[in-house]
Amino acid sequence: MSRTDAEILDRSSVDDLDAILAISNTERDEVIHRVTDNADAIFTWDYEKGARPPLAKLYEKAKHSMWNGETDLDWSIEVDQERNARESPMTMNADTLAQLGIDLTGSSLQHWGEKEWIEHSIQSQNWSLSQFMHGEQGALICTAKIVETVPWIDAKYYASTQVMDEARHVEVFAKYLDTKLSGYYPVNTHLKMLLDDIVNDSRWDMTYLGMQIMVEGLALAAFGFMHQMTTEPLLKQLLRYVMSDEARHVAFGVLSLKEYYEGLSDAEIFERQQFAFEAAVRMRDRFLQQEVWERMDVPVKDAIELVMLTPTRQLFQMMLFSKIVPNCKKLGLLDRNDRWLRHRFEELGVIQFEDWVDTSSEYETFALSDTDLRTA
């Protein structure tokens, strides 16, 4: 039973900006967010270790690659967020926008001077790191769920190491935000909806698809981009360490689902294709940073139409899918059911990544050296 894009997303079209901005996080002041997990916890009495050699190899690798967020990162480094914003090539201003052909005359950003653009850049960083932290907690919860729900012992073993990794990631992003940056943002509503859907789902493989393939695939690309752009040594080091784990996590998703999806019917695969599409759109929408514009007290839709839909910005948004698309291809999700997901990725403008390297073995190149792990 084929649903239209509008029905899957509950909006008139994929790019309906009013609909994207209409939903916002209504739980901003709550400390606890409760989600019903509909999945069964599965015991297995088959303890044969190494029945799935790629997963057994990942497990050994993970045991060797543990690091300590408190002692392996140099927290004595002082961070001058304002100076960094001033020097960052990502900080926008009227001149750089004019070079892109964007005229702010008559807009709500017309009177912004250097001070406002620097503040915007600082808020944008606070927002990005906050969302990374929330996403990491999503990964912590989803991976604990995988320990419970996956029926294979090798996967339970590996997932348990990922739980530890994700705790460390939440910890280091939270510490960086708390001690080095200047503000915090609640979870973005599009990210929250996606995390809720993943936790809610009763099928064990959907946790992998939502988290390891989609959320972590995007995170790996986003961390890589930020790692390249930042000159702040502590953040660079932190991202480098986190990425070495994330590459392994995405590989875990690809290696586990490859086997499972080969045995699924077209109808079952179609459900996975739709889930992947919905997740892709939710993640794309969160990068509009609507909460940053709200905090800067300018009309959100105007600002987004002016700045976030520029060609450079859209190129960045597309790059976020550079890991997701080849991994979906590797899993056979692009072309089943009359190439359904391929067509959706074409609409989103991201299909060009299909032949980029997938992440089933890329973790080897991201691995930390023994020197990096000296104090672990």
State the residues that interact with Fe ion by CB under 5 A: 136, 139, 166, 169, 216, 246, 249
Residue with smaller CB distance to Fe ion, 166 or 291: 166
State whether residue 117 is helix, strand or coil: helix
Residue 367 CA to residue 347 CA, distance in Å, equals 35
Nearer to Fe ion, 205 or 216 (CB): 216
Query: 3-class SS at 113?
Result: coil
Which of 9, 211 has the CB closer to Fe ion?
211
CB atoms within 10 A of CB 295: 16
In the bound complex, what is the minimum distance in angstroms from residue 166's beta carbon to Fe ion?
Answer: 5
Q: Which is nearer to Fe ion, 249 or 284 (CB)?
A: 249
Residues 6+ apart with CB under 8 A from 34: none
Calpha distance 80→173 (Å, rounded): 17
Q: Which residues contact 180 (CB under 8 A, 6 or more apart)?
A: 79, 81, 234, 235
Beta carbon of residue 256, minimum distance to Fe ion (angstroms, whole number): 14
CB of 211 to Fe ion, least distance (A): 8
- Comparing CB distances to Fe ion, the nearer of 216 and 278 is 216
CB of 69 to Fe ion, least distance (A): 12
Nearest alpha carbon to residue 243 among 210, 279, 276, 217: 217
In the bound complex, what is the minimum distance in angstroms from residue 245's beta carbon to Fe ion?
6
Residue 94 phi/psi, 5-degree rounding, is: -60, -35
Spell out the alpha helix ranges (H) of the chain: 5-9, 17-22, 53-64, 81-87, 94-99, 114-149, 153-180, 189-200, 204-207, 216-229, 233-262, 266-286, 290-295, 300-303, 311-319, 324-330, 336-348, 363-366
**Residue closer to Fe ion, measured from CB, 149 or 359:** 359
- Shortest separation between residue 195's beta carbon and Fe ion, angstroms: 13
Closer residue to Fe ion, CB minimum distance, 88 or 212:
212
Closest CB 146 distance from Fe ion, rounded Å:
11
